[in-house]
Amino acid sequence: MGGRPLVYDLTRTFVGPLFATPRGVDRVDFLLARHFSQDSRRNFFGILPTPWGMRIYEADRVQRGLARLEELWAETTEPADDLAYQNLVRALAGRGSNPRRRPRNTVGGLRKGRRMASLIAATGFSFGRPAITSIPENAIYLNVGQYTIAIPLLMAWLDRRRDVRSALMLHDTIPLYEPELVSQNSARTHVTMVRSVARYGAGLIVTTAHARETILRALAAEGRSGIRTLSVALPLAETFDSAAKPDPLLKNIPYFVVCGAVEPRKNHLLLLNVWRLLCESPEPAPHLLVVGSPGWRGQPILNEMLRCPKTRGKIHHVAGLSTQAMKSLIAGSLGLLSPTRAEGFGLPIIEALHLGAPVVASDIPAHREVAGDTATLLDPNDGPAWRSAISALNSDQSRRRTPRPATVASRERAEFVNAIDEFLDAI
């Protein structure tokens, strides 16, 4: 039985070459775009905003673009070939970095242009077809990337195609209810996204029950109620289908990992304060690996962490790691730390638990849902409790959990895709 025609918003994947590596939501967006573009059950089209309006593109062109994007992100790059990872390992092992082999963790303007040009070349330049007149009747419009939802002009085509049913994903409402943790622009953007869902959404996709509750509350404030909603946990990327291999050079080097953008919401300075105290202790302090790029107001935080005299040589920063390199780091660590003050989901926690690494995370609703009693959950303001938990893991370095079978990630990914697929037909 064939499904209804599907129009998939490719805006997030199209701008993927502008970033050296993808975030968790980028991988999920990529996963669904690839799945549905290869699904023979549906008549598939990708949709993009262009200077000549919203245009649609056929499945084969979309597939070529996705294949090129995967190459640009280097998702399958092994740790031995990841220069950022290799320099980090050399620094931890006391060997210094290789000055002749500098990683390219950021994408400068010229390189961004080249990467975008290579993506367009891989797909073959095309003006596409106008969305309003070319999308089949009674199609479904799916948007999990959120970019377009934040720009009313790019959603306006739906006013002229009332037969098209929209399934839209919102990840959280942090900027609405905790605006002090984000930029003013982010808060304004989220208001716009909620209004777009209220106006156009036939279905809402969320990642946790907590997100569902807060988003429905925001929609009610906009006069929208009764929207059909799917709450489904985000899956792990395909690279988690294989076992992780801790780096032998780091075997006897104790370290913890904190992942994600460096910004006030992530609460990195709590860890800096903990590490100051650990470095004052007579016991050798473990290393802390800060993995992620600076976000809003993040550079001053990162500077403070890296320049602190008391923790010099114990706190390290790296960005742009391949997923395979990240797996290796987490698998060989004493644990993943996530003291964030607010979160919509918490994918790094799921990744760490999958790999068997202990997790110490903030006691917030999203983390209770995704981790439950499999992680140590602490008040993100309770520095002594964090120091105690980290010290305990450092003194007993055998507290690793058993990694989940690699097949689990594949099964959960299939269940995620199937849940989305069934939801689309239900709306």
Output the six-digit token pair for 125.
């330049």
Output the six-digit token pair for 381.
């303001």
Instruction: Give the number of other Cβ atoms within 10 Å of residue 172's Cβ.
Output: 21
Crossing angle (nearest 10°) for helices 184-200 and 209-221:
80
Query: Residue 105 has what pLDDT?
Result: 47
The single-letter DSSP state of residue 397 is T
Query: Residue 1 has what pLDDT?
Result: 43
Output the six-digit token pair for 396.
């007993």
Query: Residue 64 has what pLDDT?
Result: 95
Q: How far is the CA of 410 from the CAs of 73, 225, 345, in angstroms?
A: 21, 35, 19
How many alpha carbons fall within 13 Å on the CB side of residue 389? 23
How many Å apart are CA 8 and CA 44, to the nearest integer? 8
Q: How far is the CA of 426 from the CAs of 101, 149, 229, in angstroms?
A: 52, 21, 10
How many Å apart are CA 371 and CA 374, to the nearest integer? 5
Is the CB of residue 343 less than 8 Å from the CB of residue 366? yes
Residue identified by tokens 């079978």 is 405
Is the CB of residue 406 less than 8 Å from the CB of residue 242? yes
Query: Residue 103 has what pLDDT?
Result: 44
Q: What's the pTM value of the predicted model, to 2 decimals?
A: 0.92
CA dihedral (40, 123, 326, 23) positive or negative: negative
Query: Residue 124 has what pLDDT?
Result: 84
Q: How far is the CA of 368 from the CAs of 335, 342, 364, in angstroms?
A: 18, 12, 6
The single-letter DSSP state of residue 7 is E
pLDDT in tens, the chain (427 residues): 468 999 999 999 999 888 888 888 899 999 999 999 999 889 999 999 999 999 999 999 999 999 999 888 877 788 988 999 999 999 998 866 554 444 444 567 788 899 989 998 889 888 999 999 999 999 999 999 999 999 999 999 999 999 999 999 999 999 999 999 999 999 999 999 999 999 999 999 999 999 999 999 999 999 999 999 999 999 998 888 988 889 999 989 999 999 999 999 999 999 999 999 999 999 999 999 999 999 999 999 999 999 999 999 999 999 988 889 999 999 999 999 999 999 999 999 999 999 999 999 999 999 999 998 899 999 999 999 999 999 999 998 666 778 888 789 999 999 999 999 999 999 9
Query: Residue 239 has what pLDDT?
Result: 85
Instruction: Give the number of other Cβ atoms within 10 Å of residue 37's Cβ.
Output: 24
Output the six-digit token pair for 224.
């929208």
